[in-house]
Every structure is written in structure tokens, then in C-alpha cells.
């Protein structure tokens, strides 16, 4: 495969490209799901192809093909150069890239059990057992389970001399119990909503969930929510579990720090960012205890944003994003780093597949742990609301005003959980919210969550990102407005 990629960049160079990189990606996936005791989806897929990115006449061009012959990749490379020359018709200045030393390396994430070697019937048995446990609970109208696996093998070369081979294996699973009664739908998910939890691990991750063991609790909570009190409206102390906090980080930290957004490159689709350049190292993003990093290194954990090298051949790096509350870093590419005068790329560029252009994507954007346990957090809260597991999200195109709802909440009075609340929601302004954070639990409850469904770019690309967090507390948050009557 390296040979084909090499043919592509040599063709591009011969046709006048000043820079080219090419990726061959071989992607394999498996998806299984059940619904009310029956198999839903049972699909396997494979996709193999090459994408080449070039700079010619000072402008970008990208083309992709699944015709992996000498003729096919040469034609694809020639097309990329022709596209770059067309781009130059509307060029204001030449594309510049921040310098990066070429890398020759191979990298693979560690895992114990290859999910593609586990028999499908064993995987289905595990899902059907959890499905059955949920349906045992009276009042559950819909039981759903799912698993998904992906293996991505990638061969990358560049005209600067990089030659990198990477293999990533990711796994994920989840269950959902839905209860319809009267005119209301309530649901509970485990270990997270919207497909569960996904990481760069093998089948051992799925086995660690004990889906069937958690199914009765999940189902009982879904049914119990119908009789719970409506979450009150008002300004309250808010406590978030680490999964919901993971999505809060994704939407209100991860997206606004994407430098392509900041520079207007996503203005017509995903939007822009309130984090304009003058705010770097001047904006108080959060309170003193808030520390956020974007870390793609394996030492941070097996997140969906973990890799050896990004799709520009930049090694995995850690960028401090918020340091003791101060805004200190963006997610950058070689091009955007050069545009803002940074010395090097943050190493955050990835593409969904061989037929997509690599672009800035969140790596593992994580809130670093504080201290204490969630039991301590609750015990230290006189009056508050604990919210858990995302149900919906909404944030404006500058990532400043947001509203989230969660599946379930509990009211806290005098340091104790006193009652379940249904239809919880909260809203706020990004910097006010993070500045209201006055407690973050310690490393023992810190978890690296996977968000497998982050959409960005045109044509749209779906990417997995990682977000680590421990439960945390926020003061004076607007609560309950989404479902107020």
C-alpha cells in the first residue's frame, strides 16, 4: 500500500505540486443491534481507498479514489493537482505550513481481544441477554442494545519524507430502556446515551460493562421517571456526572477551540467561535480549578482521540487548553498554526475515511481531575441538583449560549440525594458556566468518554473524539427552562 501512496505523491510532484501527502485507509466495521428481543442491525463493511492532498500554484487540492492500481492512483493524483490549480483562481495568498520533521514509524493501539475474532453469536447473546433483562421490568415499552467495532489501518506518505503505518481498533456498546406512558416518553441508557461508550480498545471493553447486570436498574429508572417530580425551574447549584460533563466539554470547550472555526473556515456550516485570537492567554475561561488539555497521546488513555500520528504526519501531542482557568491554547493544523504564527501544529488533523479531506478535529479534550469523591461532592452540597446522562444538546454557532437536557436528575438537600427529578435541563453562557465551577472530583472517578458521532465539514465527516472528566459542581446555573410550562 505504501507503494501506491508513493506513486500518488510522485505523480503529484511531477505535475507541479510543491507539497503532497497521501493516505491509504483500509477500514473494517461491524455493527450489531437488538430491539425488543429481536436482532435489529447485523452488518459488516469494508472500505479501501486512497486520498491525496496537494499544494499546487500555492493552493489546496484533494482527490480520492478506490481504484488502487497504478493507473487509478496516478489519475487521482493528477486530478488533485488540477483541482489545486482551479483553487488558485480564487487565491488571496499562498498556503503556508508550519514546519514538521518527517516521521518514519509504525503505531498500533494496544488491545486484548480483537472484536472481529469474537463470534457474532457470542456478541448477539450478550446483547440479547441485556435486552431480555430490560424487558423483564413492567412498563418498559422499548428495549434496545447495540455494539459497534472498527479497525482502521492507514499508510501515510508525504513529499517531505514521512512514512507512517498505523492501526487503530475501537469498540463500543450500550443499552437503552424506553418507557412510554400517558403522553410522555422517558428513557435511561448505560453506560452512556447515543450508542453507549466507545474507546480505542478491544472486546474486553464491552465485557467490562456487564450490560445484563446493569439492565434491570436502567429499566427500573426509565419507568420510575414517570412518577418522579418535574425538575423545578430556577437558578440552582448543578452537579454533573462525568458522562454529561464530557459532552459539556465537547460542545463548549472542544468546538470553540478549533482554530479553523476561529479563522472563519467553517463559517457557512458548523459556525465560528467566540474565542477570537486576542482572547488567547488573556481570557479567564473558567475558575482557578479548571484545567483542560487536548491530549492525543496514549498516556492520556485509549480515547477516540488517541493516535500515534495525525493525518498530517504530526506526532500525538498534548496542548494545554485551559490552565488554572486561563485560556491557553487552540486545536491547530499545520496550515492554521502558520496563519496565527504558532511554531508548530497541535497535531489534531484527522479524516473520517480515505475519501475525506483531513481537517482539525478534537483529540481527547479533557477536564483534569480535582480532588475528593462524588460522595464528598454531594455531602458538601446543601441545595442542588445532580444531573446524569445526556438526552439532548443545543449550542449556538459561536459556541457561547447552550442548553442541555439529561435523562435523569436527583435533588440534593442537606448533603443528601432526596428525590428523583424528571425532564431535567440547564442552560448558560460558556465562560460564565466554567467560571462557576467550584469543585471537581478526583482521579478515582475520572473517566475518558468517547463521542463517536461528532459531525463537521462539507462534505460532512463523522469523527470520534475523547473527553475525560470527573463529576463536578457549578454554582448559580439556570435550570429547568426547557420543560417549563
- Nearest-10 Cα torsion for 158, 160, 163, 166: -70
**Is there binding between residue 142 and other proteins (CB under 8 A)?**
yes
484 touches other proteins by CB under 8 A: no
d(Cα 154, Cα 139) in Å, to the nearest integer? 47
Instruction: Check residue 161 and give left, alpha or beta (phi > 0: left; psi -120 to 50: alpha).
Output: left
Q: Are 30 and 43 in contact (CB under 8 A)?
A: yes
What residues numbered 432-451 form the site for other proteins, per CB under 8 A?
none
66 near other proteins (CB under 8 A) = yes
Q: Which stretch binds other proteins (CB under 8 A): 243-251, 284-292, 355-363, 423-431?
A: 355-363
Say if strands 104-108 and 163-181 run parallel, antiparallel, or are unpaired: parallel
Kindly state whether residue 39 participates in binding other proteins, applying the rule CB under 8 A. yes
Full DSSP string of 67-132: --SHHHHHHHHHHHHHHHHHHGGG-SS----------EEEEE---SS-GGGS-HHHHHHHHHHHHH
Q: Rounded to 5, what percent of the chain is helix, strand, coil?
A: 25, 40, 35
Q: Does 230 bind other proteins (CB under 8 A)?
A: no
Name the nearest CA neighbour of 162 among 318, 5, 11. Answer: 5
- Cα separation, 411 vs 456, in Å, equals 36
394 binding other proteins? (CB under 8 A): no
Find the shortest distance in angstroms from Cβ 108 to other proteins: 23
Between 87 and 381, CB nearer to other proteins: 87
Work out whether 119 is an interface residue with other proteins (CB under 8 A).
yes
Our measurement of the distance from residue 132's CA atom to the centroid of its chain's CA atoms, rounded to an integer in Å, reads: 30
Q: Do strands 349-350 and 359-360 pair parallel, antiparallel, or not at all (unpaired)?
A: antiparallel
* Binding flag, residue 14, other proteins (CB under 8 A): no
Confirm or reject binding of residue 263 to other proteins (CB under 8 A).
yes
Of the candidate residues 99, 232, 264, 443, the single one contacting other proteins (CB under 8 A): 264
Cα 374 from Cα 354, distance rounded (Å)? 43
Q: How far apart are CB 471 and other proteins at their closest, in Å? A: 30
Residue 38 contacts other proteins per CB under 8 A: yes
Q: Which stretch binds other proteins (CB under 8 A): 102-110, 155-163, 266-274, 374-382?
A: 266-274
Q: How far is the CB of 61 from other proteins (least distance, A)?
A: 6
Decide: is 277 part of the binding site for other proteins (CB under 8 A): no
* Separation between Cα atoms, residue 201 and residue 147, nearest integer Å: 13
183/278 with CB nearer other proteins: 183
Task: State yes or no: residue 59 binds other proteins (CB under 8 A).
Answer: yes
- Contact by Cβ (8 Å): 54, 66: no
Locate 68 and state its grid cell: 488502487
Applying CB under 8 A, does 129 fall inside the site for other proteins? no
Among 133, 144, 241, 258, binds other proteins (CB under 8 A): 144
Which positions touch other proteins (CB under 8 A)?
A: 33-35, 38-49, 59-69, 71-72, 75-76, 78-87, 89-92, 119-121, 124, 128, 141-142, 144, 178, 180, 183, 185, 263-269, 355-357, 359, 458-459
Amino acid at each position: 500500500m505504501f507503494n501506491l501512496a508513493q506513486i500518488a505523491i510522485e505523480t503529484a510532484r511531477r505535475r507541479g505540486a510543491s507539497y503532497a501527502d497521501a493516505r491509504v485507509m483500509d477500514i473494517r466495521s461491524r455493527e450489531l443491534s437488538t430491539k425488543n428481543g429481536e436482532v435489529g442491525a447485523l452488518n459488516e463493511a469494508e472500505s479501501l481507498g486512497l486520498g491525496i492532498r496537494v499544494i499546487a500554484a500555492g493552493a489546496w487540492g484533494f482527490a480520492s479514489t478506490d481504484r488502487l492500481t497504478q493507473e487509478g492512483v496516478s489519475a487521482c493524483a493528477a486530478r488533485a493537482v488540477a483541482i489545486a490549480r482551479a483553487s488558485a483562481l480564487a487565491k488571496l495568498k499562498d498556503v503556508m505550513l508550519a514546519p514538521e520533521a518527517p516521521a518514519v514509524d509504525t503505531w498500533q493501539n494496544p488491545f486484548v481481544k480483537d472484536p472481529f475474532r469474537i463470534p457474532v453469536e457470542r456478541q448477539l447473546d450478550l446483547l440479547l441477554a441485556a435486552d431480555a433483562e430490560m424487558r423483564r421490568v413492567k412498563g418498559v415499552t422499548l428495549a434496545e442494545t447495540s455494539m459497534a467495532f472498527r479497525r482502521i489501518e492507514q499508510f501515510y506518505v508525504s513529499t517531505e519524507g514521512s512514512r507512517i503505518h498505523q492501526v487503530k481498533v475501537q469498540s463500543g456498546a450500550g443499552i437503552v430502556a424506553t418507557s412510554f406512558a400517558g403522553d410522555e416518553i422517558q428513557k435511561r441508557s448505560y453506560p452512556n446515551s447515543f450508542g453507549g461508550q466507545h474507546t480505542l480498545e478491544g472486546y474486553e471493553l464491552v465485557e467490562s460493562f456487564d450490560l445484563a447486570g446493569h439492565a434491570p436498574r436502567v429499566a427500573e429508572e426509565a419507568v420510575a421517571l414517570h412518577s418522579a417530580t418535574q425538575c423545578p425551574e430556577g437558578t440552582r447549584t448543578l452537579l454533573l456526572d462525568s458522562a454529561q460533563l464530557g459532552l459539556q466539554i465537547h460542545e463548549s470547550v472542544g468546538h470553540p477551540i478549533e482554530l479553523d472555526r476561529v479563522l472563519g473556515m467553517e463559517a457557512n456550516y458548523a459556525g465560528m467561535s467566540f474565542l477570537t485570537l486576542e482572547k488567547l492567554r488573556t481570557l479567564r475561561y473558567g475558575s482557578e480549578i479548571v484545567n483542560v488539555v487536548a491530549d492525543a497521546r496514549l498516556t492520556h488513555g485509549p480515547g477516540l482521540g488517541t493516535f500515534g500520528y495525525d493525518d498530517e504526519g504530526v506526532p500525538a501531542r498534548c496542548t494545554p487548553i485551559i490552565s488554572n482557568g486561563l485560556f491557553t491554547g487552540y486545536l491547530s493544523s499545520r496550515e492554521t498554526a502558520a496563519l496565527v504564527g504558532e511554531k508548530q501544529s497541535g497535531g489534531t488533523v484527522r479524516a473520517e475515511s480515505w475519501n475525506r479531506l483531513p481537517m482539525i478535529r478534537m483529540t481527547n479534550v479533557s477536564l483534569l481531575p480535582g480532588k475528593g469523591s462524588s460522595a464528598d461532592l454531594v455531602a458538601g452540597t446543601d441545595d442542588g441538583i445532580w444531573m446524569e446522562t445526556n438526552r439532548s444538546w443545543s449550542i449556538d454557532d459561536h459556541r457561547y449560549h447552550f442548553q442541555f437536557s439529561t435523562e435523569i436528575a436527583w435533588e440534593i438537600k442537606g448533603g443528601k440525594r432526596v428525590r428523583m427529578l424528571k425532564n431535567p435541563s440547564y442552560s448558560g453562557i460558556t465562560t460564565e458556566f466554567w467560571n462557576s465551577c467550584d469543585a471537581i472530583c478526583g482521579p478515582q472517578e475520572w473517566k475518558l468518554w468517547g463521542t463517536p458521532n461528532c459531525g463537521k465539514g462539507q462534505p460532512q465527516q463523522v469523527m470520534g473524539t475523547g473527553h475525560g472528566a470527573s463529576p463536578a459542581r457549578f454554582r448559580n446555573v439556570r435550570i429547568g427552562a426547557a420543560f417549563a410550562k
